[in-house]
Amino acid sequence: MSRKRSCSMQILIAVFISCSLSIGFAANSTDILYEIYPFIRVYKNGTIYRFIGTQRVPPSFDPTTGVISKDIQISPKFSIPARVYLPKNTAHKLPLLVYFHGGGFFTESAFSPTYHKHLNSLVAKANVIAVSVEYRLAPEYPLPIAYEDSWLALNWVVSHFKGNRHEEWLNNYADFGRVYLGGDSAGANIVHNMAMRVGLESPEYPVKLSGIFLNCPYFTGKNPIGNENGNAYGRSSVANIWLHAYPNSSGLDDPLVNPGMDLKLSKLGCERVLIFVAGKDFLRDRGLFYKEALSKSGWSGNANVVENKGEDHVFNLVHPTSPKAIRMLKTLASFLNHAKF
């Protein structure tokens, strides 16, 4: 083994041992208030440790896709930044996507390497302009703060519909007759709730949503359904996310997390819904139930479910170059360009 490789290996081993000791210490500590793995650990003294989603990357020109990005400040008062993505082909006005990242309401970022890469790929494939929203996270900012940040961000984006507001890319390139919302996991939950607010404000809301897509949406409920039966650990984990992210909610049947309990579900403010579920995902049947609930509510739009069998939760973000992830990207691009499938 070369000296250079040996040094690299020693560094990796040292990092592994350090992380292992840290995790081992916390696992035996009586100072932990609660832990929701793989998202967050909260100590009684207020210290917060996030297992994932803490890395950030700057906006850039992506040579692989030709997409350029920049960061903007939607609300300096409430510290709501966002990242805007523009594809290389801007000869005509483009569909507009407002994206909300996942992370269980506790972690991740619009600026993380995972979402930066995902948005670069999606913007290039679909040839859309996208705004990826950085909402504030629990537990420092418990729900409904993430919903309020997201609503403020969406309204700021929509305020450009006359082409005379602050952000030139939105003024010059966005087609406000083709506006979409999209997100994964907790972000998909936010997407649904933003579309509900748009619907409840119609017809006064300035634009109409052409559609929304939800990737492995985070929903739950008091009573188990489908694959949740007999999986006490899975149900407990999913429930703890909601109960700790939104301690003042009405519980697991709050319409914000269980759309089937929403008496106003028929007001969902879009024409088309695309739902991705993964065969091995504990949230799979909640995604299927969401489509069923929409149909039963009297909502007049069209909803479709695409299942990726044998895959786990948001697999396309973890393995973006896998054949199924590439196929999923093509499906999303078609949806954002109003193709029927």
Marked catalytic residue, from 62, 149, 184, 281: 281
- Cα dihedral: 190, 196, 197, 199 (round 10): 150
Predicted pLDDT at 78: 76
Residue 66 is encoded by which pair of tokens? 């030709």
Torsion sign, CA atoms 290, 147, 102, 202: positive
Beta bridge partners of 180: 97, 211
Strand partners, 263: none
Site of tokens 């509900």: 196
pTM of the model: 0.91
Beta carbons of 213 and 220 less than 8 angstroms apart = no
Does the annotation count 185 as an active-site position? yes
Structure confidence at residue 76 (pLDDT) = 77
Helix-then-strand count for the chain, H and E:
9, 11
Q: Which residues are paired to 97 by β-bridges? A: 130, 180
Rounded to whole angstroms, the maximal C-alpha distance in the chain is 69
Q: Which two tokens stand for residue 21?
A: 């000791």
Asked whether the CA dihedral 276, 105, 26, 318 is positive or negative, the reply is positive
Distance between CA atoms of residues 35 and 37, nearest Å: 6
Amino acid (one-letter) located at 229: N
* DSSP H/E element including 69: strand 68-75
According to the model, what pLDDT value does residue 23 have?
40
Catalytic residue list contains 101? no
Cα separation, 183 vs 186, whole angstroms: 8
Query: Which residue is catalytic, options 150, 185, 192, 262?
Result: 185
CA angle 270, 271, 276 (to 5 degrees): 85
Instruction: List, in order, residues 6 or more apart from 118 with CB less than 8 Å away.
Output: 316, 317, 320
CA distance 57 to 35: 27
> CB–CB of 114/61 below 8 Å?
no
Active site residue 300: no
Q: Which two tokens stand for residue 273?
A: 């819904």
pLDDT of residue 18: 35
How is 119-177 classified by DSSP, letter by letter?
HHHHHHHHT-EEEEE----TTTS-TTHHHHHHHHHHHHHHTTTTS-SS-HHHHHHEEEE
- Which residues pair with residue 172 across a beta bridge? none
H or E element that contains 113: helix 113-126
Residue 81: both structure tokens together? 């930044």
Q: Say if CB 242 and CB 106 are below 8 A apart.
A: no
Per-residue pLDDT in tens (0 to 9) along the chain, 341 residues: 443 343 433 333 333 333 333 343 444 467 999 999 999 999 999 999 999 999 999 999 999 999 999 999 998 777 799 999 999 999 999 999 999 999 999 999 999 999 999 999 999 999 999 999 999 999 999 999 999 999 999 999 999 999 999 899 999 999 999 999 999 999 999 999 999 999 999 999 999 999 999 999 999 999 999 999 999 999 999 999 999 999 999 999 999 999 999 999 999 999 999 999 999 999 999 999 999 999 999 999 999 999 999 999 999 999 999 999 999 999 999 999 986 54
